[in-house]
Structure 1
Amino acid sequence: MYSRFFSLMGGLAAILSVSGGFGLSDVHAAPRDRDDVFFRSVAGVWKGPGEIVAGKYKGTKFTCDLTGEPLDDKQTGIKLGGTCRVGVFSQPMSAVISQKGNSYEGKFLDGAGGKGLDITSGQVSGDKVVVGINRAKLNGAMVARVSNDNSMNITISVKVADQMIPVIGVTLARDIDQIAVGSIKP
């Protein structure tokens, strides 16, 4: 019952962690540098509620706790880990998004060959991130719009005929308590 839901949630999890740092990007940097600054700025812990707004599980509410880490110094992108909960059910979430040319590729969970989704395209632009997703006959997109440095709204849509239909909505907040601060030597 929940496996398809969690496949979509895996895709959602990656976008949620990717899209929070709009305020820190440098508008004068080269596109690759801007994207790298963006991905590094959204590293951290994100938490928040969401709801399935269409389809068989319409009305299902969930919460996610996600941690994003930038890829190594030679790659632009992010890796994600965490969980999403529906009632008493908790599902591990993971994703890797990496730059390939002028776009992005990657996978959520174990990719479309398993129980997850493939990332087939992507673009960082202004205050939003758009990532194309695919699994068998399912094509869609995840759009994350950054409200400020510590919050964002996410929409996952799937293509039905010639129209994109929103199916999942999420609001995330950066978990500020997880950020270590201080400058005093021990």
Structure 2
Amino acid sequence: MSFRSFTLIGASFALLATAVVAVPSPADAAPRDKRFFDSVAGIWTGPGEIVAGKYKGTKFTCNLTGISSTGPAGLTLDGTCRVGVFSQPMKAVISQVGNGYQGKFLDGAEGKGLDIISGNVSGNKVVMGINRAKLNGAMVASLKNQTAMNITISVKVEDQLVPVIGLSLNRQAAARAD
């Protein structure tokens, strides 16, 4: 398994992404967005699978801790994903900037990671736009309930978003800021 496949796996955590929705005013969005990120803070574990491309069928397991930002809406996610005996560190930082979101997965697109270039929260779902060189896509994270979250990473192929990674995470505990 190459580092590129780990990069796509990690993007699924780092980039909690959102569907196209009507955008409320920034004053209305700020408290709502903060509540969403506060609600996904915690320790999450679960399986995932690459569902398209060269590594289709590759299964992995992730252990992640999300800590909500103390300032504007956002999240820091830290942990690992494992395929067999190989483990890859995962880290993402997502921050609300103006009416949208910015951040990076690992060391961002300038390094071996991805940039978070946009985002939107709607109810129990968040969509983040992701970018690296010529790769554009989105990550959608949906809370099924307080202890279960599904994440899908899709990449843009021509005019269509194609799912490439799926994850099912379960909350193990609430995260605590140290």
How high is the TM-score relative to the length of structure 2? 0.89
- Counterpart CA distance in 1 for 2:40 and 2:160 is 30
Question: Are 1:87 and 2:84 matched, yes or no?
Answer: yes
The answer to whether the 8 A contact 2:41-2:175 is kept is no
- Counterpart CA distance in 2 for 1:34 and 1:175 is 24
After superposition, where does 1:66-145 map in structure 2 within 5 Å?
Answer: 66-72=64-70, 74-145=71-142
Structure 1 stretches of 4+ with a deviation exceeding 2 A read none
Identity across the alignment (%): 66
Q: Counterpart amino acid of 1:84?
A: C
Which of the numbers 24, 29, 32 marks the counterpart of 1:31? Answer: 29
**Aligned-residue CA RMSD in angstroms?**
1.8
Task: Provide the aligned length of Structure 1 versus Structure 2.
Answer: 168
Kindly state the Cα deviation for residue 131 of structure 1 after the two structures are TM-superposed: 0.4
Q: Which has the higher contact order (CA 8 A, sep 6+)?
A: 2
Kindly state the Cα deviation for residue 115 of structure 1 after the two structures are TM-superposed: 0.5
Classify the secondary structure of the residue corresponding to 1:106.
strand
The answer to whether the 8 A contact 2:66-2:175 is kept is no
Kindly state the Cα deviation for residue 59 of structure 1 after the two structures are TM-superposed: 0.2
- Counterpart CA distance in 2 for 1:14 and 1:113 is 16
How high is the TM-score relative to the length of structure 1? 0.85
The answer to whether the 8 A contact 2:104-2:116 is kept is yes
- Counterpart CA distance in 1 for 2:138 and 2:63 is 21
The answer to whether the 8 A contact 1:35-1:76 is kept is yes
Classify the secondary structure of the residue corresponding to 2:47.
strand
Larger Rg: 1
In structure 1, the partner of 2:167 is 170
Unaligned runs of 5+ in 2: 19-26
In structure 2, the partner of 1:25 is none
Question: Are 1:51 and 2:49 matched, yes or no?
Answer: yes
Which of the numbers 149, 153, 156 marks the counterpart of 1:156? Answer: 153
- Counterpart CA distance in 2 for 1:40 and 1:15 is 15
Question: Are 1:4 and 2:4 matched, yes or no?
Answer: yes
Unaligned runs of 5+ in 1: 20-28, 181-186
